[in-house]
């Protein structure tokens, strides 16, 4: 059995010491490190962080030769000891981070493995500083962890530090919540509140799927300024959020949604998955057109579970949906890239964004979640509430996830079998095509009016809203929308705007204000710096798209529509009133 030891002799130096005891083999020793992590589709080349690699056998050094960027070989078939160090100072859920306060160890970025022994059981002896507590989903004997395979080792991040811990039971199994990092002072929400809410969300996921797929579950939650993210694992998740997460209801609900998302992946993504993501090579990309299933359905259910478990109000749920809708319609790339193509190109697009992504790509998280929400409503409508997207989820689970079998790349037949409906239009237009989700029409069936409007507070009296069609960061252009005044005038990402018609611009607020009283077709002169050179560029303004989206109940809503609304959200119909408004003008000029 391969035995790993992880030690932190000097955490302040951001170094992890790893020792691997490898039994004798029939061939020379080959060692490799993953280039990417399941759940995060980008080649990250973790091997660049390894240093001081040495191998000994029979008490003597063995020459080590590097074969490629992630593989080493040592000419020995005897039992060998491998020692090396890993530099770990990148605080994300996809990398490792060690300092004087804690250690987060993401397995693929740290542990070399012997490919021929990938499927064999192993042990990991964790030796951290005195007083540091270990959080990890692996089974353990004291601080010695046991994994059934290298894949399980890689799928089980660990955290050491002075964590605050809460435990609870949901779905008949124990959960652990380990939290590291200081929380901002004040706020009405506590770790006890979080544990209670997570228990309710977990019970909701179990009830919806009809199964608890893990024997126990560990939430690792790290709090750090400007941090956000999560990564799913079979029996745990690693999560990052900012210290204000417990301060306001909006921030706290955002934290709940993140943790709900990563937990739901224990069903959808870790067990319900296409062939490319159940049998893969850690050294190269694993291509699939189904990431929209894994992430889109999960993005729908992460917030839907908050509502169905009673953690958020119907109004809060709808605000989250409309905020996503507003974000989606601000992305012109949605008209160029389908959900299937977005999934396939994740390796070169989603995780490697550049200034052109705005016009060429769409997120399978964002659009996928909205397609799932609209599809759920369509299924309920067409079956008169006899079925829903839940039936698709349960079919995916019982047919594939529960049996450890990969689902096919083409999931349309399964969706249709589970619902008894032909869904060719949805798949052709919204999933394989670039059409927007039919959210407006489906909400109208429930007596809800979703409409784009202009915010009168942002306009001069009687003015028609205008725009440039540029995305800004302060005074600097970060992106230019195709076929807009900014694109026609030749504005470019990186341009630094300094004046409009000779009046100084101190930020995007000034730019909006100086343009707000203009009319479509009027020209303004922008003064800007481009690569250090002052330029004056005339721009002819155009009519702007909606500056906000609002959702409202309708006057004299039919009783059957009111009943459908209540059956869906579990609250009485709100009447002819505005439910929520979400501004989108802040995302462009």
SS (H, E, C) 251-284: HHHHHHHHHHHHHHCCCECCCECCHHHCCCCCCC
Burial classification of residue 386, based on how many CB atoms lie within 10 Å of its CB (0-12 exposed, 13-18 middle, 19 or more buried)? exposed
Nearest to 152 by CA among 236, 211, 93, 231: 236
- Res 331 pLDDT > 60: yes
Phi/psi zone of residue 185: left (φ > 0), alpha (ψ -120 to 50 degrees), beta? beta
How is the chain split into domains, by residue range? Answer: 2-162, 289-444+566-575, 456-543
C-alpha to C-alpha distance for 257 and 239, rounded to whole angstroms: 11
Residues 148-178: tens digit of each pLDDT: 999 999 999 999 999 999 999 999 999 999 9
Average confidence (pLDDT) over 553-580: 95
- Res 458 pLDDT > 60: no
Looking at domain 2-162, its CATH class is mainly beta
Residues 348-357: tens digit of each pLDDT: 999 888 989 9
Average confidence (pLDDT) over 312-335: 96
Nearest to 328 by CA among 317, 339, 316: 339
- Cα distance from N-terminal residue to C-terminal residue, the chain: 61
Residues 268-321: tens digit of each pLDDT: 999 999 999 999 999 999 999 999 999 999 999 999 999 999 999 999 999 999
C-alpha to C-alpha distance for 257 and 245, rounded to whole angstroms: 11
Q: What is the reported pLDDT for 587?
A: 64
C-alpha to C-alpha distance for 37 and 154, rounded to whole angstroms: 8
Q: Which helix (H) or strand (E) holds 50?
A: strand 50-57
Q: For the domain 289-444+566-575, what is the CATH code? A: 1.10.390.10
427-436: list long-range contacts, CB under 8 Å, 24+ apart: 430/339, 430/371, 430/374, 431/292, 431/338, 431/339, 431/340, 431/371, 432/338, 432/339, 432/340, 433/338, 434/334, 434/335, 434/336, 434/337, 434/338, 434/362, 436/328, 436/329, 436/334
Average confidence (pLDDT) over 525-532: 95
Q: What is the reported pLDDT for 565?
A: 97
- Give, as one character, the DSSP assignment of residue 502: T
DSSP character string of 271-317: TB--GGGTS--TTS----S-HIIIIIHHHHHHHHHHHHTTSS-HHHH
For tokens 């004040």, name the residue.
Answer: 186
- Res 586 pLDDT > 80: no
Least confident of 359-363, 370-374, 412-416, 541-545: 541-545
Residues 214-264: tens digit of each pLDDT: 999 999 999 999 899 999 999 999 999 999 999 999 999 999 999 999 999
Nearest to 589 by CA among 445, 479, 503, 496: 479
Q: For the domain 456-543, what is the CATH code? A: 2.30.42.10
Q: What is the reported pLDDT for 185?
A: 86
Q: What's the pTM?
A: 0.95
Q: Which tops the pLDDT comparison, 354 or 429?
A: 429
């Amino acid at each position: 059995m391969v035995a790993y030891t992880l030690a932190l002799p000097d955490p302040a130096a951001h170094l992890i010491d790893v020792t691997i005891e490898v039994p004798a083999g029939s061939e020379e020793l080959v060692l490799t490190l993953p280039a990417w992590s399941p759940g995060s589709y980008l080649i990250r080349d973790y091997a660049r962080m390894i240093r001081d690699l040495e191998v000994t056998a029979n008490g003597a050094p063995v020459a080590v030769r590097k074969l490629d960027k992630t593989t080493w070989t040592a000419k020995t078939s005897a039992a060998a000891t491998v020692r090396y160090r890993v530099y770990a100072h990148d605080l994300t859920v996809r990398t490792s981070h060690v300092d004087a306060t804690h250690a987060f160890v993401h397995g693929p970025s740290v542990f070399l493995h012997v490919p021929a022994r990938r499927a064999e059981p192993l042990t990991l002896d964790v030796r951290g500083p005195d007083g540091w507590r270990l959080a990890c989903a692996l089974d353990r004997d004291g601080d010695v962890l046991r994994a059934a395979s290298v894949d399980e080792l890689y799928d089980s991040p660990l955290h050491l530090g002075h964590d605050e811990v809460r435990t609870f039971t949901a779905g008949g199994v124990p959960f652990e919540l380990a939290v590291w990092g200081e929380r901002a002072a004040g706020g009405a929400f506590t770790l006890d509140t979080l544990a209670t809410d997570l228990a309710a969300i977990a019970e909701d996921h179990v009830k919806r799927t009809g199964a608890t797929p893990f024997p126990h579950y560990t939430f690792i939650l790290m709090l750090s300024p400007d941090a956000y993210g999560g990564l799913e694992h079979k029996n745990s998740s690693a999560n990052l959020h900012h210290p204000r997460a417990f301060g306001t209801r909006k921030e706290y609900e955002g934290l709940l949604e993140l943790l709900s998302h990563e937990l739901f992946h224990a069903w959808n993504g870790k067990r319900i998955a296409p062939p490319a993501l159940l049998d893969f090579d850690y050294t190269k990309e694993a291509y699939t057109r189904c990431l929209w299933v894994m992430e889109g359905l999960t993005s729908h259910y992460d917030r839907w579970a908050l509502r169905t478990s009673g953690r958020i109000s119907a109004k809060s749920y709808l605000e989250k949906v409309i905020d996503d809708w507003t974000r989606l319609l601000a992305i012109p790339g949605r008209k160029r890239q389908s959900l299937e193509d977005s999934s396939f190109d994740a390796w070169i697009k989603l995780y490697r964004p550049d200034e052109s992504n705005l016009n060429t790509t769409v997120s399978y998280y964002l659009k996928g979640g909205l397609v799932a929400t609209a599809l759920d409503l369509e299924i309920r409508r067409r079956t008169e509430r006899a079925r829903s997207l839940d039936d698709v989820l349960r079919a995916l689970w019982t047919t594939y996830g529960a049996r450890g079998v990969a689902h096919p790349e083409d999931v349309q037949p399964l969706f249709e079998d589970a619902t008894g409906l032909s869904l060719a239009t949805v798949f052709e237009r919204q999933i394989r095509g670039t059409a927007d989700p039919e959210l407006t029409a489906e909400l109208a069936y429930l007596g809800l009016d979703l409409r784009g409007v202009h915010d009168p507070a942002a306009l001069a009296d009687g003015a028609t809203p205008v725009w440039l069609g540029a995305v800004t960061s302060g005074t600097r252009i970060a992106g230019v929308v195709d076929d807009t005044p900014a694109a026609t005038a030749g504005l470019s990402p990186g341009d630094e705007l300094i004046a409009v018609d000779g009046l100084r611009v101190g930020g995007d607020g000034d730019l909006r204000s100086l343009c707000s009283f203009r009319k479509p077709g009027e020209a303004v002169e922008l003064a800007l710096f481009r690569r250090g050179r002052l330029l004056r560029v005339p721009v002819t303004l155009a009519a702007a798209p909606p500056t906000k989206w609002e959702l409202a109940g309708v006057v004299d809503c039919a009783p059957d529509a009111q009943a459908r609304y209540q059956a869906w959200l579990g609250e009485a119909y709100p009447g002819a009133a505005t439910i929520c408004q979400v501004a989108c003008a802040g995302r462009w000029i």
